[in-house]
Amino acid sequence: MSPDQTLAFETDCHIFDGCGFPAPGLHSFTFEPIATIGGFEFTKPVLLALLGTVVVMVFFWAAFGKAKIVPGKLQMIGEAGYDFVRRGVVYEALGKKEGDKYVPLMVSLFFFIWMMNLWSVIPLAQFPVTSIIAFPAGLAAIVYILWVSLTFKKHGFVGGWKNITGYDKSLGPVLPLVMVLETFSNLLIRPFTHAVRLFANMFAGHILLLIFTIASWYLLNGIGIAYASVSFVMVILLTMFELFIQALQAYVFVLLACTYIQGALAEHH
């Protein structure tokens, strides 16, 4: 549970009891360290991220560790997920020839992000790790470094800068302005929006779930019970919607990563 949910339930705070609504906020994303090892503090999000990594690794090991020609149910699920990312995302953006070498990375990113998002609706965990900006920022940084390195590796130092700045002498007088905008967009805006898109969706989704979950408990008193039932229905509906958003955001993150790589590998004209 989040700090807000714990506070509301432990204090048995209800409407008409004279206590205020324990509204969620930024404090809902702050956790006390569970353990400190070697000076490093392990908070709930960190432990969920580590556990999520283990879950993804164990799943694929169990699915493909002893792969069979006639796959079992787990192998079929693993193959379906792998093939979705490979054909539906990587091949669509990069093509089969260029895309094959990036499939392992994109599959790893997709399922890792999806698992980090899924913690939001898993009992006891109930917190999306990607709603902490450091995690999406770290993943976006991996893609950013890969994009920059591929750009210069493919085009050389001069060609790489032409690719990044959008240099095209046919633009004439507006070329300087275009180069400034492209450089700013590619080097600063691109990694920022790549991380914030994932973070903002998970942050907002978690806040909404918190509001209606806490409200369901808070209104559970007297005539407020009728409103509590409506709030509880909203929790169920939002949870279902959140399941869709969680998968969608993992897909969008990986799709954008492939698009950036495609731009790095494209011939500059």
pTM: 0.90
CA distance 114 to 125: 15
pLDDT tens over the chain, length 269 residues = 555 555 555 456 777 777 777 888 888 898 888 888 877 888 999 999 999 999 999 999 998 888 787 788 889 999 999 999 999 999 999 998 889 999 999 999 999 999 999 999 998 889 999 999 999 999 999 999 999 999 999 999 999 999 898 888 888 889 899 999 999 999 999 999 999 999 999 999 999 999 999 888 888 877 778 888 999 999 999 999 999 999 999 999 999 999 999 999 887 54
Q: Could you report the per-residue pLDDT of 99-150, keeping only the tens digit for each?
A: 999 999 999 999 999 999 999 999 888 999 999 999 999 999 999 999 999 9
* H or E element, residue 150: helix 134-165
- Domain spans, the chain: 3-265
Count Cβ atoms within 10 A of the Cβ of residue 264 and give its class: 0-12 exposed, 13-18 middle, 19 or more buried: buried
- With beta carbons less than 8 A apart as the criterion, state whether 218 and 14 touch: yes
- Residue 41 is encoded by which pair of tokens? 């503090």
